[in-house]
Amino acid sequence: MAWFVKTETFTAEAAALPVEQRRPIIQAHRQWVQQEKAKGRSIQSGYLVDEYQRPGGGGLLIFEAASYTEALVWVQNDPMICADLVDWKLQEWISVSGDGWSD
């Protein structure tokens, strides 16, 4: 299995929406991640903040998949992508150092 990283930022249109309009989709994303974890997928999800802990830097989804094609097909089910809430990019991540990953 390989590791993949989806980076994302809100589209300009989504960023202009009131938080109340984005919240249901963000919650659906969180539920989707939890469902995928429950199915056994190795996955970590979170958002980026600045030095004052203010969000706005985008988000990261790090997960395992057998291939880039599988990762792409799977990640396109993310509610944030389905709702066109984010601009995103998918890349394979090749680790060269570290102690491994634990959930």
Residue 100 has pLDDT above 90, yes or no: no
For the whole model, what pTM was predicted? 0.87
Q: In this structure, which topology does domain 2-90 adopt according to CATH?
A: Alpha-Beta Plaits (3.30.70)
Residue % of the chain over a pLDDT of 70: 95
Residue 102 has pLDDT above 60, yes or no: no
d(CA 21, CA 63): 27
Could you report the per-residue pLDDT of 47-76, keeping only the tens digit for each? 999 899 988 889 999 999 999 999 999 999
What ranges do the domains of the chain cover? 2-90
Amino acid 55: pLDDT: 83
Amino acid 95: pLDDT: 85
d(CA 31, CA 25): 10
Residue 91 has pLDDT above 80, yes or no: yes
Four-point Cα dihedral 13, 76, 58, 31, nearest 10: 100
Residue type, 99: D
